[in-house]
Amino acid sequence: MIVLANDHGGLILKQPLIEVLNEMDIPFRDIGTNSTESTDYPLWGYKAAQLVASGECERGIVMCGTGIGISLSANKIKGIRCVVCTDCYSAKLSRAHNDTNMLALGGRVVGPDLAKMIVQIWLETPFDGGERHARRVKMIMDIERDQML
Ligand code: RB5
């Protein structure tokens, strides 16, 4: 289950992303907003991140104007590794090397077709799982727990 959340600036990407998820036969939960009225992105980043951190949703895709504010908000929640992507290479490597569990996109930065490609690649790419990358991801999580030696 993928959680989708966005502010007014990210709303433009929602329908294209729903198309990709449907094409890939991946279930999703859209928690809003579905309005163009101005709203605060931290709220949406927080709500989506909570669902991922709790295990209720496997991964999350969040959208705001740039992808920046909503990703910063999501990354404040323990267990979240949220990446802002504007290109397919970063989307792929963020999964393979960093095991990201959330993706952020900017509705005022990437067009719908590029956003769809980024999402497809991000969803299809598994974590590499090799010792080197696993060690580094663990180090990130150790920082979060203040247990970095
Ligand atoms: C809202 O205008 C805008 O600031 C927001 O969508 C996002 O881009 C913030 O990082």
Residue nearest to atom 8 of ligand 1 (CA): 65
pLDDT of 57-116, one tens digit each?
999 999 999 999 999 999 999 999 999 999 999 999 999 999 999 999 999 999 999 999
Look at the chain and count its residues. 149
Single out the residue of 35, 20, 3 nearest to residue 112, CA to CA: 20
pLDDT digits (tens, 9 = 90+) for 116-126: 999 999 999 99
Contact 9, 107 (CB under 8 A): yes
Peptide bond into 86 cis (omega under 30): no
Q: Which of 41, 86, 110 to mutate to test the pocket of ligand 1 (most atoms within 8 A of CB)?
A: 41
